[in-house]
Chain A
Amino acid sequence: MSALPSYAGPLERFWYYAFRFLCGAIFVFLISPIIVMIPLSFNAEPYFTFTPEMLALKSEAFSLRWYQDILDNEQWLHSMKNSFIVGIAATLLATSLGTVAALGLSRAEMPYRTLIMGILLSPMIVPLIITAAGLFFFYSYLGLAQTYTGLILAHTALGTPFVVITVTATLSGFDRNLIRASSSLGSSPQRTFFKVILPLISPGVISGGLFAFVTSFDEVVVALFLAGFEQRTVPRQMWAGIREQISPTILAVATILVCISVLLLATMEILRRRSERLRGLSPS
């Protein structure tokens, strides 16, 4: 597909351009929902569509009032804070548990690997509504419903599969001779882990952590069941906003979240490149 070969006939030429047009349309389908609401979040009117003034690019049609709205609203600020508290705590827990488990799973001697892997990845597969219902009963019984601890533990469980997957993938390209070299030089397993293994697999660990963070930061179903008013996270607050009465403030929040995803995407890309570079350097 890279270029049209010189021997291509007219039909093939037509198909070549038609195919590119089709792909362009699919890319538009993928990206337009994300692009469209960004200008709409600067709408001066409380509408969800472009006003004629906006299309004429008149400056008075645009305003930052919906962003001001977020800053003036106690609930939004509180939920932002909650999202970060829960997200960061869940990420730290999920990353440490997941990384250690991945170290075990990637060892050649690991018994029952498929079964254990299946169990460890199940939080990603089980429909969220079932997870939420199950956790709701259990955590209520333990008195953990409507507490930060409950929400953090639930989000940790949901985030660990992503850490396990990314770290095991990174470890599959890891040169085990480095561990042997390190222990033959007399360092303890802990020292080997922190000085040799961790620096080399850090891109995988960090991207796993980012996945875990995004999972928590974006999670709404479990939050609906487990979080009380005090623990409302951003998605939970957005949910209420969309259900009750949708206001353009939601679009402003959405735009901020898109900016956060762009940042995350850029970080992931940098990590991916770094990991490829590291892998290129290490002897295999």
Chain B
Amino acid sequence: MAAVTENDGVMRAADGTPLKQALARATRMNKMRAFLLTTPLLAFILVSFILPIGLMLFRSISAPEVAEAFPKTLEVLKQWDGEGVPGEDIYATLAAEMSDRDNRFNLGKAGTRLNYMESGFRSLMNKTTRRIKRAEAPFKDAFIKIDKRWGEADTWKTIRQAGSPYTIRAYLNAIDLTQEPSGDIVAQPEVKQIYVTLFERTIWVSIGVTVACIALAYPISYLLATLPAGTANLLMIFVLLPFWTSLLVRTTSWIVLLQTNGVINDILVWIGIVGDDNRIQMIYNMTGTFIAMTHILLPFMVLPLYSVMKTIPKDHMRAARSLGANPAIAFMRIYMPQTVPGVGAGSILVFILAIGYYITPALVGGQDGQLISNIIEYHMKKSLNWSLAAALGGILLAGVLALYWLYNRIVGISNMKLG
């Protein structure tokens, strides 16, 4: 397009629009085109991946069950001052809502929800629902006759609290806290305090695995980066073959190697280090989880480290030596600082993958080798406490996303490389 100057002195494109405007439009068109290319995948990921996870996490704060089962009771309860026992009108409303046949399905769900807040509530609800239908006024006495808990203020406070459709209770549970009927937030009884310990254990294992991976990856990456290309490529098979081998295959073979009648124990017995009758228990505990996870995640450390080390000129070390540094000092002062980006990238990657690990701890972890992912699965599939599973997942996800953000700051997501 030829630019023409009209008498007002503004540069114009051939169609008469000012050049600046035409240029802006062209840029916008190009931006639009680039963006349009990403839309199919973006839409797919948003709908089939991000949305489901968002909806799942919503379960951690959503608690509509009690509000759906007892809308009228909750309305009347608002006027109650929280002292002593509520009046007859509240008992009567609750009795009506409990006897309503259309409400049966909601009652069951409300019982489950209340049971998360106060154990024993489900059976209290079931028992009361069964018997209150035949009861007659005054309902207050009828309720207390069925179970004396109905005469306690705390029972009603719990129902009132559960009436809110949103709750942070699952998050409190996930960090071993609980809310009393009075509204105070206190620590869970000691026997129920397991999640903080589990989070701590998961973090410690992930740190341990990351450190082990650095310790093992550093020497071999250095060797690979400094050997002639042909030999290095050959040795690279030792890193890439495990990288490409199925996770389950590698976990299986660690079971084979580590079990009490397995290959490693056999070798130890044969050498004579260990007696035949006190073979070492290396699996179905933390040791097994740790060894297998380190093995599985090691390539994720070697690959970024190797690609960073390959770019460090060999002359640097030689120059340091010629200036009088001994090998150790030359390495510490010249070489190591240059590998920090690689260590950082690899560490975050390994840590992110380790902290969400599920398969290996589930298979080789035994009782005390379980991590936070395993307890999420337990609450998803066995205990069916989905809001707690979602809250634990939410905390885990927040941690991972924070690390992902950090990775982006340090390495840049666009620089992520594979193999």
Contacts and interface: CB of A to CB of B under 8 A. Distances in A.
A164 B36 CA distance: 15
Given A111-B31, A118-B404, A120-B45, A34 B241 contact: yes
Nearest to A139: B52
Given A26-B216, A116-B38, A165-B418, A109 B241 contact: no
Given A23-B223, A114-B413, A130-B53, A235 B376 contact: no
Q: Which secondary structure dominates where chain A touches chain B?
A: helix
Q: How large is the interface on B (under 10, 10 to 19, 20 to 34, 35 or more residues)?
A: 35 or more
Contacts of A66: none
Contacts, number: 274
B49 interface: yes
Interface stretch (A56-64, A67-75, A179-187, A217-225): A217-225
A1 to B, nearest CB: 4
Contact of B295 (A33, A125, A156): A33
Interface string B44-84: 11101111111111010000000000000000000000000
Contact of B239 (A30, A49, A153): A30
Given A109-B34, A134-B55, A218-B246, A125 B404 contact: yes
B27 A109 contact: yes
B216 A123 contact: no
Interface residues of A, number: 94
Interface in A16-75: 19-20, 22-23, 26-27, 29-34, 36-37, 40, 47-50
Contact of B35 (A15, A110, A128): A110
Interface string A120-160: 11110111111101111111000000000000011011001
B219 A26 contact: yes
Contacts of B256: 36-37, 40, 48-49, 251
A12 B327 CA distance: 8
B280 interface: no
Interface stretch (B110-118, B177-185, B257-265): B257-265
A265 B241 contact: yes
A20 B226 CA distance: 12
B40 A127 contact: no
A85 interface: no
Interface string A226-238: 0000000001001
A33 B246 contact: no
Nearest to B26: A109
B383 interface: no
A27 B220 contact: yes
A23 B167 CA distance: 54
A92 interface: no
A55 to B, nearest CB: 10
A127 B373 contact: yes
Interface stretch (B101-109, B145-153, B336-344, B351-359): B351-359
Interface in A190-227: 207, 211, 214, 217-218, 220-221, 225
Interface in B293-319: 295, 298-299
A127 B358 contact: yes
A103 B254 contact: no
Contact of A30 (B42, B45, B56, B238): B238
A226 B239 CA distance: 32
Contacts of B176: none
Contacts of B412: 114
Interface in A90-106: 97-98, 100-101, 103-105
A130 B396 contact: yes
A123 B42 CA distance: 12
A259 to B, nearest CB: 10
Given A36-B256, A242-B248, A2 B228 contact: yes
B414 interface: yes
A166 interface: yes
A80 interface: no
B252 interface: yes
Contacts of A243: 363
Given A34-B253, A257-B249, A107 B30 contact: yes
Nearest to A101: B41
Contacts of B396: 127, 130
Contact of A127 (B42, B220, B397): B397
A132 B54 CA distance: 13
Given A1-B226, A48-B256, A262-B241, A104 B246 contact: no
B2 interface: no
A217 B36 CA distance: 31
B7 interface: no
A174 interface: no
B237 interface: yes
Contact of A49 (B222, B262, B393): B262
B419 interface: yes
B40 A157 contact: no
7 nearest A-B residue pairs (beta carbon): A127-B356, A104-B37, A138-B52, A1-B226, A134-B53, A101-B41, A134-B56
Interface of B: 27, 30-31, 33-38, 40-42, 44-46, 48-57, 59, 216, 219-220, 222-223, 226-228, 235, 237-242, 244-257, 259, 261-263, 266, 295, 298-299, 327, 352, 355-359, 363, 373, 376-377, 380, 389-390, 393, 396-397, 400-401, 404, 408, 412-414, 416-419
